[in-house]
Amino acid sequence: DAGITQSPRHKVTETGTPVTLRCHQTENHRYMYWYRQDPGHGLRLIHYSYGVKDTDKGEVSDGYSVSRSKTEDFLLTLESATSSQTSVYFCAIRGVVTDTDTQYFGPGTRLTVL
């Protein structure tokens, strides 16, 4: 499964607490992405990274921040979690090589904010 892991796989937290989700890849891919998946909304891009310390916002970035200090790790932080951030979060990676420009997804993290 393209060498992507996510941690934790499940988390329950309370409103107002900070939460950090981790995506780790072993493929040395340049691009990494964070999506959230909610019923009726499909997959929506939160933030993405195109290199170490290079990140950009996606469609639903409000309330989220990211960091990428090394190629293999991409962190998603909810500074103060809200119930509307209850979701399944998927990380994805993409290489920048012809014919391998597809995004491959990690196993997901189910986050519940009470």
Partner 1 sequence: GENVEQHPSTLSVQEGDSAVIKCTYSDSASNYFPWYKQELGKRPQLIIDIRSNVGEKKDQRIAVTLNKTAKHFSLHITETQPEDSAVYFCAASVGYSTLTFGKGTMLLVSP
Please give the residue ranges that form the binding site for partner 1 (CB under 8 A).
Answer: 1, 31, 33, 40-45, 48, 50, 58-59, 90, 94, 101-108
Taking the complex as a whole, how short is the minimal distance between the CB of residue 46 and partner 1, in angstroms?
11
User: Computed over its alpha carbons, how large is the radius of gyration of the chain?
Assistant: 13
**Dihedral sign for Cα atoms in the order 47, 23, 103, 54:** positive
CB-based contact 23:76 (threshold 8 Å): yes
Q: Which CB sits closer to partner 1, 14 or 38?
A: 38
Q: Which CB sits closer to partner 1, 33 or 64?
A: 33
Q: Which CB sits closer to partner 1, 19 or 91?
A: 91
Helix (H, G, I), strand (E, B) or coil at 83: helix
Token pair, residue 94, equals 């993409």
Taking the complex as a whole, how short is the minimal distance between the CB of residue 80 and partner 1, in angstroms?
26
